[in-house]
Structure 1
Amino acid sequence: MARQTGGFLDRITHRSALRRWRAAAGAAPKADLTELRRQRSRARKLRRQLDELLHVAEYRLALPAIGNDAIAAPHDSDWTWRPEAWRGPLPEPGVVAVDSGAQLGGEVTLFHDCKISELTLRQLRNTREADLAPFGLRMDVFQFDGSYLSLAIDLPPAAVEGLTKAYLVRVECVVEMESPLEIFARLNIKSGPNTEKLVREVPLSSGERHVEFDLAYSKLNEKRIDKAWLDLIFEGPQMNQVVLRDLTFSRRLRAEI
Structure 2
Amino acid sequence: MAFQFGSVMDRFIQNGALRWWRRAARHARDADLVSLRRYRQRARQLRTLLNEVIHSADERLALPMVGSDSFPKPFGTDWAWRPELWRGPLPIPGISSVQTKSKLGDKVTLFHDCAHSELTLRQLRNLREADLAPYGLRMDVFKFDGSFLSLVVDLPKASIAGIRKDHVIRIDTIVEVEKGIEIFARLNIKHGPNTEQFVRELPLNEEKVMVEFDLAYSNLNEKRVERAWLDLIFEGPEMNQVILRDLTFSRRLRASI
Query: Do they fold alike, i.e. is TM over 0.5?
Result: yes
Task: Give the TM-score normalised by the residue count of structure 1.
Answer: 0.90
Within 2, Cα distance between the matches of 1:121 and 1:68?
A: 22
Secondary structure of 2:91's counterpart equals: coil
Letter in 1 for 2:243: V
Q: Flag the 1:24–1:240 CA change in 2: closer, same or farther, 3 A.
A: farther
Match of 1:145 in 2: 145
Match of 1:129 in 2: 129
Match of 1:103 in 2: 103
Task: Give the TM-score normalised by the residue count of structure 2.
Answer: 0.90
Match of 2:3 in 1: none
Task: Structure 2: give runs of 5+ residues left out of the alignment.
Answer: 1-5
Letter in 1 for 2:178: E
The offset of 1:19, in angstroms, is: 4.2
CA contact (8 A) 1:123 1:136 kept: yes
Letter in 1 for 2:47: R
CA contact (8 A) 2:24 2:39 kept: no
Within 2, Cα distance between the matches of 1:87 and 1:100?
A: 24
Match of 1:23 in 2: 26
The offset of 1:73, in angstroms, is: 1.5
Letter in 2 for 1:53: V
Secondary structure of 2:124's counterpart equals: strand
CA contact (8 A) 1:71 1:80 kept: no
Match of 1:63 in 2: 63
Cα-to-partner distance string for 1:178-224 (whole Å, 9 max, x where unaligned): 11101100000001001011000000113431100011111211221
Match of 2:36 in 1: 36
Q: Give 4+ residue runs of structure 1 displaced > 3 Å after superposition.
A: 8-22
Alignment of 1:202-241 (within 5 A): 202-241=202-241
Cα-to-partner distance string for 1:121-168 (whole Å, 9 max, x where unaligned): 111111111111111111010001111100000001111111111011
Within 2, Cα distance between the matches of 1:216 and 1:119?
A: 38
Within 1, Cα distance between the matches of 2:189 and 2:151?
A: 16
Match of 2:197 in 1: 197
CA contact (8 A) 1:176 1:207 kept: no
CA contact (8 A) 1:122 1:138 kept: yes
The offset of 1:172, in angstroms, is: 0.4
Q: Taking every aligned residue pair, what percent have the same amino acid on both sides?
A: 60
The offset of 1:14, in angstroms, is: 8.4
Match of 1:94 in 2: 94
Q: Flag the 1:17–1:138 CA change in 2: closer, same or farther, 3 A.
A: farther
Task: Structure 1: give runs of 5+ residues left out of the alignment.
Answer: none
User: Is 1:177 the counterpart of 2:177 in the alignment?
Assistant: yes
